[in-house]
Amino acid sequence: MTLTKTTETKYVILQETSEEEFESWMYFIKLNGNEKNLMHLKTQLDQVEWKIYEGFSTFDLDLDHVVSEQTAKEMIKVELNVYFHRKFDGVLKRIDFGYKEKDNNKKKIKRVFIKLGYGMIDKYIDQEDISDDEEGSDACSGDDNNSSYTVSSTDETDDDDDGEEEEEEEEEEEKGGEGGGREGGEEVLQGMVLPESLSKQIATEFVQTKNKSKKKKV
């Protein structure tokens, strides 16, 4: 695929679809002067078989159909999502996701998400065009969009992460269950841990009191 250079200002669209938010966001990236790095980004995204995984986003970059600056400016005013579409007029930096030979498909998706998830394309291109409707709105600020989410780039776990977490939770539940009964000569009474001798004394007094009340009724 080759991008034809043009003197007319054009934009390509990078779309992010969020599994968590159930929304798709369009990032209009200026084509002029960014052809090489857009091609590199497209080549990397095409190496992934995109599927929806919990907590991740999918990405698609369309280089075949460019749009005009007027269209891009109009689209960032459209109110369809919680977050607005965005438009960038700056120079796009080279983006490398650092795929490894051992990476499975989900791991590649995670690497892309760590770099670009929740609008972090703004880390690689500047000069965002903020529409008049968006100025002063917290919901539309690129910084605010990212501030609510924390993505760890040091997590190297694979598809069996969920299974390990479930096993740890089960172990904790078992320990909690054992603590709820008698342990080390003590037992739990109404949320308090009492010595065994004291708990027996309380139980004896309770039985005696109950027997007395029965005799009075008779």
pLDDT, tens digit, 9 for 90 and up, residues 36-63: 999 999 999 999 999 999 999 999 999 9
Instruction: State residue 121 phi and psi, 5-degree precision.
Output: -60, -25
pLDDT, tens digit, 9 for 90 and up, residues 119-148: 999 999 999 999 776 555 544 444 444 434
Tell me how many helices (H) and strands (E) the chain has: 6, 6
For 159-173, the DSSP string reads TTHHHHHHHHHHHHH
pTM of the predicted protein model: 0.62
- Rounded to whole angstroms, what are the CA distances from 154 to 72, 114, 151, 186? 35, 10, 9, 44
Average of per-residue pLDDT values in the chain: 76
**Is there a contact between 3 and 52 (Cβ–Cβ < 8 Å)?**
no
Cβ partners under 8 Å of residue 102, min gap 6: none
Q: Where are the alpha helices (DSSP H) in the chain?
A: 35-45, 69-75, 105-116, 142-147, 161-179, 196-217
Measure the CA–CA gap between 186 and 191, rounded to whole angstroms. Answer: 12
Instruction: Give the other-Cβ count within 10 Å of 129's Cβ.
Output: 16
| CA 200 from centre of chain | 52
pLDDT band at 163 (very low <50, low <70, confident <90, very high): very low
Specify the DSSP class assigned to residue 92.
Answer: P
